[in-house]
Structure 1
Amino acid sequence: MNTEEQTLIDGLFGRIKQAEDPAQPRDAQAQARIDEHVRQQPAAPYYMTQAILVQEAALKRLDEQNKQLEAELKQARAQLEASRPSGNGGGGFLSS
């Protein structure tokens, strides 16, 4: 594991810790089911952590791509608006 991976793992568990609220009741049946699966599959938290981090990275890339595409669209719309005739007095074929 490299430093970046350690930081990602620590960050994930830090966010989970912040989200934990002992005042909020947990679904006892769901908790029991999860506990049962973790007992049967002790490596599950490892793979779940890996899956969450991969999904978060993918979401981050998609968000960045979406922002870039929105900026390009805004620029294209501005260029289109700038290239249109103003409609004030220039007159076209059917303007009169």
Structure 2
Amino acid sequence: MPYDPEKKQFSMATPENMQEAALLITAMGQSVMTLLDKLAEAHGNRPGAWLDEIEQSLIRDAKSIVSEDIHVAVEARGMRLGIEAVSAMVQRLRRRLTTS
């Protein structure tokens, strides 16, 4: 997956069907959770401003994604679903850190 740090974008093969797309999303979601867990460890497994900053940064970066050749309505729904998923992952970590 080539990544262009200047444009904050990467390219990857397009899933050929819904099953591949679902597995791709699951793998990426699990990877994000692993990264969040490692960040939590680095912050003493306590919620705080660091987690708010991470969430804001993830959402801001997601909103800055520019797609090509995707219908506006499809792009808007996909973006909303992606942002909701990222926020849900951060909230899940926040609840876990608060209750442990």
Q: Give the TM-score taking structure 1 as reference length.
A: 0.31
Bigger proportion of residues as helix: 1
Higher relative contact order (CA 8 A, sep 6+): 1
